[in-house]
């Protein structure tokens, strides 16, 4: 499948058209950003590692009948995906308190949560991706009530599947972000990526961070940490 015109260039990926108008190519970049794009950098090899990790996780989710946009892996840092009409929302699920939850609500950092927390964010760089609830999304005409219910159900299901997948590999799934879109039939499908850029993942024994927090907080060893996640999830 050949890359045609560039349709979208985001902070971490590029989307290209293909000869099939229902399919696009998602190309993962080495570029990294954090804190609403205020911190910028590059992590050598990140694009290909994230593409591989995302492909493995999407394939694994397919085995549990989770609908995703993933079609197949292409060479290097590219993935063939179904073109979706993206819903400008981000769903976040948290199993352990950290990050913005600690800043905003003073949860003790690294505290395991008795009840997982589901959050919705509006995907809007100008507004700094604010936290919203479903009523904001309905009022803005972004998504219908049944779509938000499905986004919640799928995010919770994906959390259960990936939490135990990671646990069996000595990893902890701390929190993660997902994006959904509609396919040509209007069905809700998981899009975007699932990688250490969009999930927090810790080593189970040492709680060593193996995700983008190493970049956010200049902890070093970012590429090595991403590679470690890939090595662990590749061992079935
Ligand atoms: P951002 O736009 O947040 O900077 P990226 O660099 O990750 O993010 O760019 C990827 C873009 O592609 C995002 O806007 C994302 O919503 C969009 N996208 C993800 N999956 C699909 C898909 N299947 N079809 C169309 N667009 C998609
Ligand atoms: N996240 C993401 N993209 C965003 C915001 C958050 O992928 O635009 C992920 C982030 O990597 C973490 C989870 O969502 O795994 C929760 O992030 P949090 O709200 O703690 O925000 P942050 O610390 O990124 O400000």
Pair (65, 100) in one structural domain: no
Pair (76, 132) in one structural domain: no
Last residue of a domain, one of 82, 111, 132: 82
Pair (33, 136) in one structural domain: no
Q: Is residue 164 part of a domain?
A: yes
Q: Is residue 190 part of a domain?
A: yes
Pair (34, 52) in one structural domain: yes
Residue 236 pLDDT = 64
Last residue of a domain, one of 65, 82, 99: 82
Residue-wise pLDDT for 1-32, tens only, equals 899 999 999 999 999 999 999 999 999 999 99
Residue 234 pLDDT = 96
Residue-wise pLDDT for 147-196, tens only, equals 999 999 999 999 999 999 999 999 999 999 999 999 999 999 999 999 99
The CATH number of whichever domain residue 216 belongs to comes to 3.30.470.20
Residue 54 pLDDT = 98
Give the number of the ligand closest to the Cα of residue 197.
2
Q: Is residue 18 part of a domain?
A: yes
- Provide the number of structural domains found in the chain: 2
Q: What is the domain extent for residue 159? A: 85-221
The average pLDDT across 214-234 equals 97
Q: Is residue 236 part of a domain?
A: no
- pLDDT of 212 over the 70 cut: yes
Pair (144, 67) in one structural domain: no
Pair (185, 200) in one structural domain: yes
Q: Atom of ligand 1 at shortest distance to CA of 82?
A: 23
User: What separation in Å is there between the alpha carbon of 114 and the centre of ligand 1?
Assistant: 32
| Rounded (10°) CA dihedral 78, 51, 68, 8 | -50
Residue-wise pLDDT for 132-161, tens only, equals 999 999 999 999 999 999 999 999 999 999
User: What separation in Å is there between the alpha carbon of 19 and the centre of ligand 2?
Assistant: 34
188/67 Cα distance (integer angstroms): 8
Best residue among 9, 10, 188 to mutate for probing ligand 1, ranked by most atoms within 8 Å of CB: 10
Residue-wise pLDDT for 27-59, tens only, equals 999 999 999 889 999 999 999 999 999 999 999
Q: Is residue 229 part of a domain?
A: no
Residue 10 pLDDT = 95
Pair (77, 91) in one structural domain: no
- pLDDT of 235 over the 80 cut: no
Pair (111, 10) in one structural domain: no
The total of other beta-carbon atoms located within 10 Å of residue 72's CB is 12
Q: Is residue 121 part of a domain?
A: yes
Q: What is the pTM of this model?
A: 0.98
Output the average pLDDT for the chain: 97
């Amino acid at each position: 499948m050949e890359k045609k015109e560039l349709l979208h260039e985001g902070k971490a990926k590029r989307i290209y058209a293909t000869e099939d108008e229902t399919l696009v190519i998602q190309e993962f970049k080495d570029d990294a950003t954090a804190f609403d794009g205020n911190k910028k950098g590059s992590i050598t090899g990140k694009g290909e590692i994230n593409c591989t990790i995302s492909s493995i996780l999407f394939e694994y989710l397919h085995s549990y009948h989770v609908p995703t946009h993933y079609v197949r892996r292409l060479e290097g840092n590219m993935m063939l995906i179904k073109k979706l009409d993206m819903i400008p929302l981000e769903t976040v699920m948290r199993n352990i308190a950290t990050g913005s939850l600690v800043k905003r609500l003073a949860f003790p950092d690294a505290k395991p949560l008795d009840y997982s927390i589901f959050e919705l964010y509006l995907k809007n760089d100008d507004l700094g991706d604010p936290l919203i609830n479903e009523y904001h999304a309905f009022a803005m005409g972004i998504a219908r009530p049944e779509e938000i219910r499905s986004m919640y159900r799928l995010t919770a299901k994906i959390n259960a599947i990936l939490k135990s997948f990671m646990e069996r590999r000595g990893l902890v799934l701390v929190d993660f972000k997902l994006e959904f879109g509609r396919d040509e039939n209007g069905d809700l499908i998981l899009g975007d990526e699932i990688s250490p850029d969009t999930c927090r993942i810790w080593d189970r024994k040492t709680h060593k961070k193996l995700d983008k927090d190493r970049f956010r907080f200049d902890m070093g060893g970012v590429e090595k940490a991403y590679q470690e996640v890939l090595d662990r999830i590749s061992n079935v």
